[in-house]
Amino acid sequence: MKYSGWPEPSELVVGKVDEIEDFGVFVDLEEYEGKRGLCHISEVASGWIKNVRDHVNEGQTVVAKVLDVDESSQQIDLSIKDVNDHQRKEKIQEWKNEQKADNWMELAFGENIDDEVYGAIANELLAEFGSLYDGFEEAAIHGEEALDETDLDDDEIEAIVETARNNVSVPYVNVTGYVDLTCPDDDGVDVIKKALKAAEGNGEVPEEIQLEVTYVGSPEYRIQVQAPDYKTAEGALEESADRARKVVEEHGGSGQYHRERTEDDE
């Protein structure tokens, strides 16, 4: 997406060299709608410059530092030389990530999404996560819980999470589920303890999976799973709940698995 506002002084921006003159370089800002900056010849590169074209070419993508912004005269002063290699690589990656996120927005809500609707959804993600990409990444890792603090409606959250799960590459994902366990047996407390141990895998959970079972409020227990991907995580979650359920049922009890907390615990 392109921002309709203005960049801030000291901000790093991505731009495309649009025009080269003897006195400097005009740069179209890729992240800001209709904004163009000027990089004076003295800010193109360190040292004495004989020919600006020895350092930049028309159509070249550059990262520049914003030196000054004068909205009244529509002028943005830039410096290319003040950006080091690390900053340049980091900014380019950030820009590419936002382009990916822009494509994910279209996948989630359609290519013909209304600009106003797009802006409202994007602003929610920006406010909560700082960037669209980070918003989708968090949705891929943590699911709908990542978007709980936003004002997005249920359908919007569902669309973002589904798109994120199908498109975002993440190092791991977290999923959470709940299991209600009851046992009327005289040794019910011990049976529940045994069921919880079974839920945790009895020490036989694969190394790539982290699984934790915690008490929420009788008769509910929370199961949290961290795994390399959603298929693995969801499978481990359901298997954990099933192991606990089988233990209590063997002793005349009952177990019920669900993804959301019960209303009494909210």
- Average of pLDDT values for 252-262? 84
What is the average pLDDT across 85-105? 94
Residue 158 lies in a domain: yes
Place of tokens 């820009």: 95
Residue 191 contacts residue 253 (beta carbons within 8 Å): yes
If DSSP codes are grouped into helix, strand and coil, which group holds residue 259?
A: coil
Q: Among the three residues 167, 197, 230, which one is the final residue of a domain in this structure?
A: 167
Contacts of 172 (CB under 8 A, 6+ apart): 141, 226, 227, 228
Return d(Cα 144, Cα 239) in angstroms, integer.
21
Question: Are 74 and 135 in a shared domain?
Answer: no
Q: Tell me if 213 is assigned to some domain.
A: yes
Same domain (yes/no): 50, 116: no
Quick one: average pLDDT of 7-13? 96
How is 127-163 classified by DSSP, letter by letter? HHHSSHHHHHHHHHHHGGGGGTTS---HHHHHHHHHH
Q: Is 236 a member of any domain?
A: yes
Rounded to an integer, the average pLDDT of 34-52 is 94
Neighbour-count burial for 137-153, b at 16+ CB within 10 Å, e otherwise: bbbbbbbeebbeebebe
Together in a domain, 142 and 160 = yes
Q: How many domains does the chain have?
A: 3
pTM: 0.68
Q: b/e per residue, 187-213, with b = 16+ CB within 10 A?
A: ebeebbebbbebbbbeeebeeebebeb
Shared domain check, 67 and 50: yes
Percent of the chain past pLDDT 90, that is, above it, reads: 77
**Residues 116, 64 share a domain:** no
Residue where a domain stops, chosen among 53, 82, 111: 82
Range of the domain at 255: 173-265
Q: Is 6 inside a domain boundary?
A: no
The average pLDDT across 241-259 equals 92
108: CATH: 1.10.150
Residue 262 clears pLDDT 80, i.e. is over it: no
Question: What CA–CA distance (Å, rounded) separates 256 from 253?
Answer: 10
pLDDT tens digits, 191-211: 999 999 999 987 788 888 999
Q: Is the pLDDT of residue 174 over 50?
A: yes
* Domain end marker among 82, 97, 112: 82
Do both 186 and 200 map to the same domain? Answer: yes
Cα–Cα distance measured from residue 83 to residue 78, given in angstroms and rounded to the nearest whole number: 10
Q: Is residue 3 part of a domain?
A: no
